[in-house]
Structure 1
């Protein structure tokens, strides 16, 4: 729309300096050169088949290497890992479940979690009320 207006002014003989569009950048709709047989790059985005064998996948942590010259770490038996690691997968109670329990009988960790989740819920509620106003 703005391009049509500028073209109209140029055709009327108004110089570029007056219009202030000497360094104006325009955008094209496309290059017009599409690859044969492709539709929007969907084929390029398709997942590739893995070339790793099942044995390698079951004995190593594939993709966990962060070093340039390093190798992927091997999977160890469960007895080789620290005990706290297995507790990371434990399910922790949700806020609704904690609200149903008696707060005075909750263990310290659950009470701490309740306070954190309750504060977060109150902040979200206050923010939504302010956003509506």
Structure 2
């Protein structure tokens, strides 16, 4: 499809003009104003030091505030959080792994996941068959 558009524009735009437009470099407004130090590098190349104190970083969730007048939430001890929170990042088995096991022996959560993933696979298959016709 893109090639058909290129062919239609070929008669309108000269190839050299397109290459000239695509190869132009652009800079931000302040890029030319960086001061050079004695070694040839600019002073803005160095990473900026954080303005937050280490104590604040260790006790609060920086950027966690979503309220206009609120403050960043404090980090609580692990015992204050619910148990299910610690299992959110655990790896869950894929459909291929679940289909290799006997369905009768799967725990309820894995069986539920197997049904969901199998339905998703069959829907994608049906959609691809319909798209080909």
Could you say which TM-score interval applies, normalised by the shorter chain?
0.5 to 0.7
Partner of 1:103: 103
Partner of 1:121: 121
The CA RMSD measured in Å over matched residues stands at 2.4
Partner of 1:56: 56
Whole-Å separation in 2 of the counterparts to 1:40 and 1:126? 48
Write out per-residue CA displacement over residues 67-116 of structure 1, whole angstroms, 9 at most, x where no aligned residue. 11110111111111111111212221111110111100000110010000
Whole-Å separation in 2 of the counterparts to 1:118 and 1:41? 49
TM-score normalised to structure 1 length:
0.61
How many residue pairs get matched? 93
Matches within 5 A, 1:50-89: 50-89=50-89
Say which SS state the counterpart of residue 111 (structure 1) adopts.
Answer: helix
Partner of 2:26: 39
TM-score normalised to structure 2 length:
0.61
Greater C-alpha radius of gyration: 1
Distance 1:55 1:98, change over 3 A: same
Partner of 1:23: none
List gaps (5 residues or longer) in structure 1. 1-37
Whole-Å separation in 2 of the counterparts to 1:94 and 1:42? 48
Partner of 1:130: 130
